[in-house]
Amino acid sequence: MKHFLLLLAWLLAIQPVTTPEAATKPAQANQAAPDPFSSKVSLLTHAFEKLMSLEPSLDSDMEFISLDWQMTDWKLSEDERNELIGHFHTKYGVEVLFDSYPQLREKNKLDPKTNSLYGVLLNIEKLEIHSPDSVTVTGGKYHSPLGAAGMTATWQKTKDGWEIVKITDNWIS
């Protein structure tokens, strides 16, 4: 019995002491978890290009393209934003912005009489992440109240990049 009590005392003595503060405090990691979407720019480029292909008649005389994914929690670095700017400016030859519709209105980027933009707004409204290799994007292209379209597309990452595996046209005006 004496040996049992000594063993029990020793086991209790070597256990770490946990205070209520330590129990509620999250563990600190030495490194941040790796981002499962190291190619966010690639996916956003594909998604915005697909939105851009909706209703090409909306592109006539456009002065800018505004890329808006503010409804998602994705944050991009300055280099990643510059990569998007470079792609869309090179391909379409217009100014590239990262503004929502209210921000474009504040910047006088639309005709106040018709609410028609002087460019197009490509908007990602919803981003569902199924896995690091599968994402569903819901978004739209807006030029005016009578010139807009929206879609939902599921993308699968392949060795060659992102490919659409399912697409649904949601609306058109």
Supply the range of the domain harboring residue 90: 40-172
Of the candidates 72, 86, 67, the residue with the CA atom closest to the CA atom of residue 140 = 67
80 or 31, greater pLDDT: 80
pLDDT given at position 3: 42
For the chain, give the longest Cα–Cα distance.
93
Write down the pTM of the prediction.
Answer: 0.75
- Is residue 115, in this structure, part of any structural domain at all? yes
* Mean confidence (pLDDT) of the chain: 81
- Is residue 91, in this structure, part of any structural domain at all? yes
Indicate the helix (H) or strand (E) that contains 130.
strand 120-131
pLDDT exceeds 70 at position 95? yes
**What does the pLDDT look like over 116-129, one tens digit per residue?**
999 999 999 998 98
Residue 145 near residue 138, CB atoms below 8 Å: no
- Is residue 24, in this structure, part of any structural domain at all? no
Indicate the helix (H) or strand (E) that contains 41.
helix 40-53
- Is residue 83, in this structure, part of any structural domain at all? yes
pLDDT given at position 68: 95
**What does the pLDDT look like over 144-165, one tens digit per residue?**
999 999 999 999 988 888 899 9
In the structure, what pLDDT confidence band is assigned to residue 38 with cuts at 50, 70 and 90? low
Per-residue pLDDT, averaged over 104-113, amounts to 95
Please state the φ and ψ torsions of residue 21, each to the nearest 5 degrees. -65, -45
- Is residue 14, in this structure, part of any structural domain at all? no
Tally of domains in the chain: 1
pLDDT exceeds 60 at position 173? yes
- Is residue 1, in this structure, part of any structural domain at all? no
Per-residue pLDDT, averaged over 75-86, amounts to 92
In 3-state terms, what secondary structure has residue 115? coil
**What does the pLDDT look like over 58-77, one tens digit per residue?**
898 899 999 999 877 788 89
